[in-house]
Structure formats: C-alpha cells, structure tokens
Amino acid sequence: MKSTMCAMWTVMVLLAAGSAQAGLDFTLHKLESGRPGKTLLVVGGIQGDEPGGFTTAALVISHYRITSGSVWVVPNLNFPSIIKNSRGIYGDMNRKFEDLDPSDPEYETISKIKKIITDERVDAIVHLHDGSGFYRPVREDAMRCPERWGQCVVIDEERTSEPRYLELAALADRVVTRVNAGLYDPEHVYHVKNTLTRQKDTVMAKEMAKTLTYYAINNGKPAFGIEASKEFPTALRSYYHLRGVEGFMDELGIGFERRFPLTAEGVDQAANSNVALSFYNNKIFFDLADARSRLGYVPFKKDAAVEYVPSNPLMAVVGGGDAYRIYYGNRNLTALEPAYFEYDDTERDLEIVVDGAARTVPFGRIITVDKSFTVADRGECRVNIIGFSRPGLVNEAGVAVRREDFMDRFSVDKAGRVYRVEVYKQDRFAGMVLVRFDDGLRTAEAADAHGLVLERQANLFERVAAEPATGASR
C-alpha cells in the first residue's frame, strides 16, 4: 500500500507588513502507511543552532516512505531560532516543559507540542539534538567525559511505569548497538546516557526535569534523546541521527523505505537536493539549490500577502520591503527583490519551440534546452526573457534564443544555466517558465541533477494542488 503524508506543507502566507519572525510556527507532518502499527514521533529544531537534528527530521519527511505503522515529524519546533541560528531567542525552549508562565513568548508553542506528545496515537518519542564533545561513561579527557553530550542516546531513567515499554535502558542499548554497527571511526562510538532525572538531587537532574523528554515520560510516553557531536559537519551528524531514528523504527516494528544511500555523502546530497519554492499557485517557481545571492525584479503580487509553498519544511520566506530572504534552516539561500504587479489569471501556459520541437509549457515549470528556444507570439501577451536583450524589441516572442545570447549575471543559478521567461498581459503579470541550458552536455551527472529538479517540482506541484491556503502568517 502506498504511504500517505498528512498535514504536509500547506500554502504559507507571509504578511507584507510584519516582523521577520512573525508566524514562523512549527509544522507537524504525519507519514502514514495505512497499515496497522506503532507511531513514532520525531522532534527536531528545539534549539536553533543544532542543524544536525532539524536537518535529519526534514530528511525523514522528504526522503522516507513508511510502509507499516506511522511516523509523525516536527522538524522545526523552534523555527524563529533556527532562522536566527540561535539556541533560543527567548531562552532555552527545552527548559520550559515543567512550568511556564503564560506570558512567555513560547507558551503557545509549548502548549501545542505538549498536545501532540500526549496524543493517544503516539507510542514513543525521539528528540534530536547536537551535543558538545563525546559522551563517555568514564572520563578520558575534557572532550570525552560524562559531562559531554555528543554521540549518545539519552534516557531519563532506566525503567518507566509505562506498561508498553518498561525497559528504557534496554531499548536504548539495542538502538546504540545498531548505530555503532555503522561508525565512520571508532572514536564516534555511541553510549547510553542516563540522566537519572527522577532523582532530582543533582544539578543535571533538575535541569532535565524541565525537558521535553521528561514531560513525555511523566505522561506515559517512552521518550529518548539522540545526540550527535557538534564536532562533526552537519551531514555526518545527520548520518548518525538517522541510524538512531531507523533503529527506533525497527525496534517499534515500523516499516520504511529510504530514497538515498545511508552514508554521510548520501545524506549531504539528499539534504541539499530539496530546496524549491512555488509562489502564487505555481505562477512562479524557483529551484534554489545553486541560487545566486540575490535575484532581482521578481514579479510579486501587488497589495497582497506573499503566498508560497516550500519543497522542504525548513524553508521559509522572511522579511519584506526591498527584499524577501529565503532560508533553508539557518542558511540564507538568496534574497528576492520584488517588483509589484497586478496579476492576470486568464493565461495558463506558453507555447515554446525547444530545439525544433513545439511544446506547451504550463507556468511554473522548468524545461531543458540544448541549443535554442523560441516563445510563440500570443496576441496581447508580451514576453520578457530576463537576461536577453535585442535593440528595438519590446516583445521577445518569436525570437530564437541561445545560451550565448544571455548576460550571465541575470541567471537564477550561479552556473549561468537557468533563466526566467516571464509573460505579461496588458501590463499584468501572467506567469513564468524557467529554461535550463544543457549545452549538449548529456552527461549522467547533468541528467541526474535535472531529474532531481523535475522530481522536486512534481512533488511540489502535487502539494500545491492538494493543500488549500490556510491564512497562517509567516
């Protein structure tokens, strides 16, 4: 049975006037198999400067298919702090689960995640973190000692009164064994770290009593932390996180399929191959995997909120005024400089001759060109090919355009291969198509790269069609 994803990326709405953080709410993604089984809740991003955790959670959403049971994922619990690359712009969110004043700016967020944790369908929780150094049960040196947090599975106590999973330590130990079967270096070894939170007679236990996992334990839900060392690059952290998450899925009997090889290199490629945005019901599409630092004169809708659908739950459009900044986690991918237009909704596509073959291309698509393309003239419509200019031309339809006819600085990508073809009808913006030049280089690498773009686009457009606008501000 095909896996389904519920509560996926809804249409995001960025209010034209608002703070950069306004409305950056976390999202819940339910990966349902349609078959009976346990439900695992995976949470990332409670601390915004721990990209291994939130990158891992996003990868589970975008690159896994659940074949039995369910996996629920919150990849961006503290989204404003992720954007700011801050542990917590309003303090440490993972210390707010024991007691919290309703006036705290994160009170609503904490209340919402608590309801998800205590949902009767959730059987266990895994909380993803990046920790300092390397945890060792016995002190070796300052970076490898009991006080460090990297490379461990964290439990609050050895046993819980929850009848389904009494032995937290035993389950964590089995997962650690699975993780350790795939170490890149023996120094990366995982251990189980028991914080003995129930005792509350140590400084650490008192701190841990305020955390998400201990709140879950006290509400009858087995909960575990997975820590990857901050000494590693993000891809290697996520590699170890994923080994742990897959270990818990296996232990719970949750079936899954992964769409990339579980290596640090595979993780890095997967994490950076899913960064695209669709604006205004597919009138505009940008693949941003290799975007220039700024893209100018982007035709945004006049006197309206900015509506967009991201291909990745860690993507957000923030800011306003002279530029909208596009973030992927704590990375600023590009800035879009808006030009505001009234919109036309009567046109839906373009007729384009690509390397001698006529095609009808809906707006918001990206097409591959080998040598040249020509946009067919369509009466009242004016074609503006960004980066192409010929004296005396107002409408650039009917002209054969090659890559060498473009000014590279106007390309969407740094490689100078992707360009915008925009259509206007009576000075109203109708839509956009992207053209990507292959220059006759039909290499396997080029084909794979373009295939990834097309796959992202297809998945993105499916969500645009399926998800109504929610009115949630961002």
Q: Which pLDDT score, from 0 to 100, does residue 14 have?
A: 53
Q: Which pLDDT score, from 0 to 100, does residue 441 have?
A: 53
Q: Which pLDDT score, from 0 to 100, does residue 425 have?
A: 97
- Residues 281, 249: one domain? no
CATH classification at residue 50: 3.40.630.10
Q: Which pLDDT score, from 0 to 100, does residue 321 have?
A: 80
Q: Which pLDDT score, from 0 to 100, does residue 440 have?
A: 58
Q: Which of 338, 343, 321, 287 is nearest to 15 (CA)?
A: 321
- Does the residue 344 lie in any domain? yes
Q: In what order do the strands lie in the sheet with 418-425?
A: 366-369, 428-437, 418-425, 381-385
Distance in angstroms (rounded) separating the CA atoms of residues 371 and 18: 45
Place of tokens 């303090």: 91
Distance in angstroms (rounded) separating the CA atoms of residues 343 and 428: 5
Q: Which pLDDT score, from 0 to 100, does residue 200 have?
A: 82
- Residues 432, 325: one domain? yes
Distance in angstroms (rounded) separating the CA atoms of residues 411 and 413: 5
- Does the residue 358 lie in any domain? yes
pTM exceeds 0.75, yes or no:
yes
- Residues 298, 266: one domain? no
Structure tokens at 226: 């997975």
> Of 255, 271, 287, at which residue does a domain stop?
271
Distance in angstroms (rounded) separating the CA atoms of residues 381 and 174: 64
Residue 232 is part of which domain span? 33-271
- Residues 191, 232: one domain? yes
> Of 243, 271, 299, at which residue does a domain stop?
271
Q: Which pLDDT score, from 0 to 100, does residue 453 have?
A: 53
> Of 204, 236, 271, at which residue does a domain stop?
271
- Residues 75, 207: one domain? yes
- Residues 284, 420: one domain? yes
- Residues 221, 283: one domain? no
Distance in angstroms (rounded) separating the CA atoms of residues 46 and 260: 26
Radius of gyration of the chain (CA): 24
Q: Which pLDDT score, from 0 to 100, does residue 333 have?
A: 96
Distance in angstroms (rounded) separating the CA atoms of residues 371 and 105: 55
- Residues 196, 322: one domain? no
- Residues 249, 284: one domain? no
Listed as ranges, residues in the chain with pLDDT below 50 are 1-10, 15-22, 442-444, 446-447, 449-450, 463-474
- Residues 192, 50: one domain? yes
- Residues 245, 294: one domain? no
- Residues 146, 199: one domain? yes
- Does the residue 381 lie in any domain? yes
